[in-house]
Chains A and B, each alone.
Chain A
């Protein structure tokens, strides 16, 4: 199993450009998440999805859109990039949100995408 993969690993954008980050998981997990991590800070939730075809806003959703057309993929879009969106973006997945087993509660993370907006 590849686990959670992210594409691309690095990207440099100019202000106003658009791009899409792709997250893929092969563990048949229901839940998927997009986080951003800024220096000296923990992860902040951007958007999440509880299943195919559904998405919801997290803590810092402004400037981002997401789509979950297939269960295994979760896309994060930036329509008009701004320097404030310079960050490292992490995707994560989770089996489900309930269940007695610890494995139901653990999130599995991708390796991250380092995005710089000039």
Chain B
């Protein structure tokens, strides 16, 4: 089952605008990660936020985490056409005897030039 669920499923914005994607999850986590996938490629790690953190920044990326609501958001500021990709949240939690990542279904972001 999908632990993380992204919202919206698709987002289309103009270059220069900000893009916000949301992720909700169901169980306790160690950390939450965001990945990016360009069409036809593998996933690339963007940013990680630990369960005891509330906000984290990396360049044009800002991630928030609200463990009480079991939700996270990814903000991309001043978007560029090159940001067009699918974005996935992944929750890192203990499953059985090992930590595993469980991915959401993703948000398809299109940035129009």
Report which A residues bind B (CB closer than 8 A). Answer: 4, 31, 33, 35, 40-45, 48, 50, 56, 58-59, 90, 92, 97-98, 102, 105-112
Interface extent on B, as a size class? 20 to 34
State whether A42 touches B44 (Cβ < 8 A): no
Partner of A43, one of B31, B45, B88, B92: B88
**Cβ-Cβ contact count across A and B, 8 Å cutoff:** 61
State whether A108 touches B45 (Cβ < 8 A): yes
Hey, which chain B residues are within 8 Å of A112, CB to CB?
Answer: 40-42
State whether A109 touches B43 (Cβ < 8 A): yes
Hey, which chain A residues are within 8 Å of B99, CB to CB?
Answer: 97-98
State whether B2 touches A105 (Cβ < 8 A): no
B71-104: which have CB < 8 Å to A?
88, 90, 92, 96-104
Q: How far is the CB of A30 from chain B (nearest CB, A)?
A: 10
Given contacts A48-B98, A97-B98, A97-B99, contact A43 B43 (CB under 8 A): yes
B110 at the interface (CB under 8 A from A): no
Hey, which chain B residues are within 8 Å of A98, CB to CB?
Answer: 99
Hey, which chain B residues are within 8 Å of A106, CB to CB?
Answer: 33, 45, 48
Listed by A's residue number, 24 A-B pairs whose Cβ atoms lie within 8 Å are A31-B98, A35-B103, A40-B9, A41-B105, A42-B2, A42-B4, A42-B90, A43-B88, A44-B103, A56-B96, A56-B98, A90-B42, A90-B43, A97-B98, A105-B31, A105-B92, A106-B48, A107-B101, A109-B35, A109-B42, A109-B43, A110-B42, A111-B41, A112-B40
